[in-house]
Every structure is written in C-alpha cells, then in structure tokens.
Structure 1
Amino acid sequence: MASSNDIKNGTVIKEAGQLWSVIEFQHVKPGKGGAFVRTKQKNVVSGKIIDKTYNAGAKIETANVDRRDFQYLYQDGADFVFMDQTDYDQITVSSVVVGDAANYMLESQQVQIGLHDGEPLYLEMPASVVLEVTYTEPGLQGDRSTGGTKPATLETGAEIQVPLFLNAGTKVKVDTRTGDYLGRVND
C-alpha cells in the first residue's frame, strides 16, 4: 500500500478491480482545510479518462505494470503472437488488446506491451510506420500535392486517404494513432 503523497505521472493505481494510469497530478494545499491530491487518470484497458481527488495521506493500492519490448511474429486466428526481445519467450495477445494497431503491424514490427501479472493489458506502437501502398487509383496528369485525396490500400489491408499524385508501390509514412498520411518515403 502506498499513500496519495506517492502519486506521480505514470503511477498505476488499482481501484475497484480496474487499473488506472496517472496522466497528471497536482498536490494542493488550500489556505483553509486539509491538503489533497488532484489527478487525471486514464483506464489502462479502455482508455477512458477521469478526474479523481485523494485526501493527503490517503492509502491507495498501486499496481506493477511492466512495459517490455516485443517483436510481432504472426497472426494466429483472431490472436497475435509476439516474442519478448529479452528472453525470447512468445506470448499470445488477443485482438481486443491489439485493437487498431493491427492495421499498421507487419511481421517483425517492434512494439511495447504493458503486462500486469503476466497478462497483456495494452499495446503501444511507434508513433509512425512506413508501409507500401498496394492499391490506389492511378494518378492523373495535373494532380497536385495540395489538391484532394483518394483512398489507398496499404500492405496490411488498412485503407487510408492519400494525395492524388500517389500510385501503387509507393512507400508512405502513416501515423499509427490517427491513421493519417504523413508523407512519402524515398528508399
């Protein structure tokens, strides 16, 4: 057990059977009354954000979440198999935990997985990845980079919007958080 005075960014608190990660915290000592700690917390599994206040010195239960580097190996039905980069153990992660990251993962992709008691809680991708466009309508003479956009299918099967001048076979940089096109990549 820890106290509310030990709260800092990144602390994972176990409350009502759920894990909450502290995003922001502020120790407040008003002129009148007792001190307290104001926090903004994010649910580790669902991503929901809440504001929570603790009295100074209140007992809280912290959880140990281990973030480790993994390499994506392959998809096994609805699940994904990853290899730990330190001890080469393989773990299977459900598609619920992987979520939208599956749209941007290629085999041998490096990711970080948060584990609590050996159970995968969440998966973090790099901020951007380089993927090849496998299909898009051909560009036309006069299409400009400042013009509109068109749909393009990536090598992972995901569909994003790209500028009109891009053609199939082009490598593009994609933001893994939003799925936005960031630019063309020259080899």
Structure 2
Amino acid sequence: MDGRLYVVLTAQNIHPGKGTPVTQLDMRRISDGVKVSERYRTTEQVERAFVEDREHTFLYQDGEGYHFMNPENYDQVVVPEDIIGDQKAYLQESMAVMLSIHNGIAIAIELPARVTLEITETEPVVKGQTASSSYKPAILSNGARTLVPAHIQAGTRVVIMTEDGSYVERAKD
C-alpha cells in the first residue's frame, strides 16, 4: 500500500450485482494510530507483515524510551514513548507485557488487562450520600484519575482496567 504497517480491524467482502467483488478493510496505521478505510479488488494482493508477539518484562524508562527485557534470552528492547502512549501511566517495574515486534523493532504493546494501584486522594464520604451508584473522582498512585464508589477512601488499593482506567474492584491483598 504505502510501505507502512497497519493492523486490520475489520474485513468485509462485498459482492455487487455487477462488477468485481471487493474487500473493504478498516485498518489502523501502527506508526500514528490513524484509522484508514481501503477497498481492494479480490485480484489485488496485500503483503502480510511478519510480526512476532513475545512477552517482555518492563525494566525502566529514561531519555531513550522504555526499556524491556525478553525473559528467555535477556535481550533488551527500547520502545519509544509514542508506541506506549497513554498506557505509560499503568506500566510498573517488572510488569510482564506483550510486545509486537517487526524486524527487531517494537511496533505495539499490550499491558495486562488489570493493575492494582493505591488511591492517593479522593473526596471524603458525604453523610447521607447513597452508596448505590454514586461514583466520585480519585487520583491513583500513578497520577492517573479515575472514578471510584463513594465508600473507597484514600490509601485503599484498587484494581483498575489498563485499557480505559476504570475502577473494577477493591484489591484482595
């Protein structure tokens, strides 16, 4: 297409009454996250990139980027901040993540679905407030903001979804 890598989000085959059948692809460009829609005739070829998904352990972050280690062979990979994006708030030392690697370069990262963090500050409970479905803002130990149920106090460890930063439950530890 243009020599860049894309992730296919959806693929749909369209068979019009007349003419050549086409495949509609909705894709996301890996380099900058832009979504693209393309139609290809069934006779056209799209090259499949060889991407390897492998577990890595997060070590540390510095001026170069985020450093990860392959636990099998101890090779280290540096991932630039733009690949990690907003998920950087949920990276924790020694965390196991999935890195998608193409030609020795990390092109995507997948964090564990859930992380446990501590609430550093939140509003105190207001007497008479129903605990049914009222959520209040809170700041987590990583600096991220989330909404938690009214009964959760500062200092409580909670489970958070890394995908959207939403509260799941009070930590069991």
Same topology, TM > 0.5: yes
Q: Is the CA contact (8 Å cut-off) linking 1:143 and 1:165 kept in structure 2?
A: no
Matches within 5 A, 1:59-98: 59-77=45-63, 79-98=65-84
Distance (whole Å) between structure 2 residues aligned to residue 44 and residue 28 of structure 1: 26
Larger deviation: 130-139 or 176-185? 130-139
The verdict on how the C-alpha distance between 1:36 and 1:175 changes in structure 2, with shifts beyond 3 A counting, is same
- Equivalenced residue count is 173
Q: Secondary structure at the match of 2:61?
A: strand
- Give the C-alpha shift of residue 100 in structure 1: 0.9
Alignment correspondent of 2:135 = 149
In the other structure, the counterpart of 1:12 is none
Q: TM-score, normalised by structure 1?
A: 0.81
Q: Name stretches of at least 5 consecutive residues in structure 1 with no aligned partner.
A: 1-14
Aligned counterparts of 1:94 and 1:110: Cα–Cα separation in 2: 17
**Cα drift, residue 69 of structure 1:** 0.9
RMSD over aligned CA atoms reads: 2.1
Cα distance, 1:107 vs structure 2: 0.8
Counterparts of 2:79 and 2:87 in 1: how far apart (Å)?
12
Matching residue within 6, 16, 39 for 2:2: 16
Output the TM-score relative to the length of structure 2: 0.86
The answer to whether 1:30 aligns with 2:22 is: no
Kindly tell me: are residues 145 and 90 of structure 1, through their superposed partners in 2, closer, same or farther at Cα, counting changes over 3 Å?
A: farther
Describe the shift of the 1:144–1:69 C-alpha distance in structure 2 as closer, same or farther (beyond 3 A).
farther
Structure 2 gap ranges (5+) = none
Q: Which amino acid in 2 is paired with 1:83?
A: M
